Amino acid sequence: MSVTGGASTEWVRRRNTALVLRELRQGGAGSRAELASRTGLAKATVGAIVADLTAGGVVSEDGSAPALTRPPARGRPSRPVVLLGDGLAALGLELNVDYVAAVVLDLAGEVRRHETRPVDGADPVEVLADLVREVVPPEAHERLVGAVLAVPGLVGGDDRTVAWAPNLDVAGAGLAERFAGLLGGCPVQIANDADCAAYAEAHHGAATDSDSLLYLTGTVGIGAGIVSAGELVRGGTGFAGEVGHVPIGEPQAPCGCGRRGCWEASIGLHAMLRAVGMPELGTPVATAQAVAERAAVDAGVRAGLDRLGHDVGLGLAVLAAVLDPSVVVLGGYFVPLGELVLERARAVVDERLVDPLTRPELRVGALGIEAAALGAAERAFAPLLAGEVELPV
């Protein structure tokens, strides 16, 4: 298929603008000359891009930031081009069985607002809708470049259809339509929660030092997000990472999907609570914090967590043998439990791998229960930062 000159020129302009934005976001402020050097673009190209971005209120050269520490040999010290975060924003949402979350991220990568709310037996979709109305009032709709809603299930290739969510009754495309309506027509995509959390931990959290990551959710459901060479791995149909329903759990344990023996049925939040004999609280993290406190004084709870660590390790040994990640990050309810689970899991992985030296480093997540919502917000910016869409200014 041929591309007309005009279309090609527009594509190059968007790509170059996105390159400058990414460099400012990741590498920080710099003069026009420095940006030309850092991006490999011509100085004149950078100058034109900066002028357009300044006119749109996306960057500033007005002297509000300090002059560069290394002034040019001749003339006045250069003023850095500074990315302004308050002009555009992206919204990340998470819909889960027992909690919902929202994160507003600005163009500079700063979190402007975040909130998690327990469902407490209500309809999770309605609880999330109420949260969206509070976090993004109508007057803020025009600032949104997009929104991504993370769900614990399989998402179709159109990034709008929930294909399968065994713990939630949200199949179909209605979820994307519902929240687009709440956001004044802002484009809304649906994504897998583990993929979003993995994306967040890779960009903001526990795995910024690695481009090979396996992220394991720790909620009622268990899923995995896979990052290889810095990019999400989605598989042939977009369903990669649905590890919670691989039959590597206790063979007779019933799962929410209707089958038995799923890994989720052995290491999901409810399985953990059965193992330690404690009740569920408001959110998975609050529940696990209470369990960790009890474990300090209760040998029975410690024994239950040791069994849990064994089952976590069995599954991770299989995944490590297949995927060979450098880092495994456990999120959600696993975070407060930390070494109460990880110590045993490491030992089991070492026993099961052919060469224990290939065991990935096991870590807990750094972003808490809002990891998926933060990753969703980051992914909402992705088309803009890739030059796939026009800058809405």
Domain boundaries, the chain: 5-83, 89-196+372-385, 209-365
pLDDT at 69: 43
Q: How many CA atoms lie within 13 A of 243 on its CB side?
A: 28
Region of 332 (left: φ > 0; alpha: ψ -120 to 50; beta: rest) is: left
pLDDT value for 236: 86
C-alpha of 300 from chain center? 35
Q: How many residues are there in the chain?
A: 393
Q: Which CATH number fits domain 89-196+372-385: 3.40.50.10240, 3.30.420.40, 3.40.50.720, 3.90.226.10?
A: 3.30.420.40
**Residue 209, helix vs strand vs coil:** coil
Euclidean distance between CA atoms 344 and 350, whole angstroms: 10
Task: Report pLDDT for 73.
Answer: 46
pLDDT of residue 356: 74
Q: How many CB atoms lie within 10 A of CB 246?
A: 16
How confident is the model at residue 64, as a pLDDT? 54
pLDDT in tens, 292-335: 999 999 999 999 999 999 999 999 999 999 999 999 999 999 99
Q: What is the pLDDT of residue 323?
A: 93
Distance, CA of 219 to CA of 190 (rounded, Å): 19
Listed as ranges, residues in the chain with pLDDT below 50 are: 1-4, 65-73, 75-76
**What is the third-level CATH fold of 5-83?**
Arc Repressor Mutant, subunit A (1.10.10)
Residue with tokens 């409810």: 270
Query: What pLDDT does 68 receive?
Result: 43
Of 58, 329, 311, nearest to 216 by C-alpha is: 329
What letter does residue 188 receive in the DSSP assignment?
E
5-83 and 89-196+372-385 in the same fold: no
Distance CA 307, CA 303 (A): 6
Alpha helix stretches (DSSP H) within the chain: 5-27, 32-39, 43-55, 124-135, 174-182, 193-204, 264-267, 269-276, 284-295, 299-323, 334-337, 339-352, 371-385
- The CATH architecture that domain 209-365 belongs to is 2-Layer Sandwich (3.30)
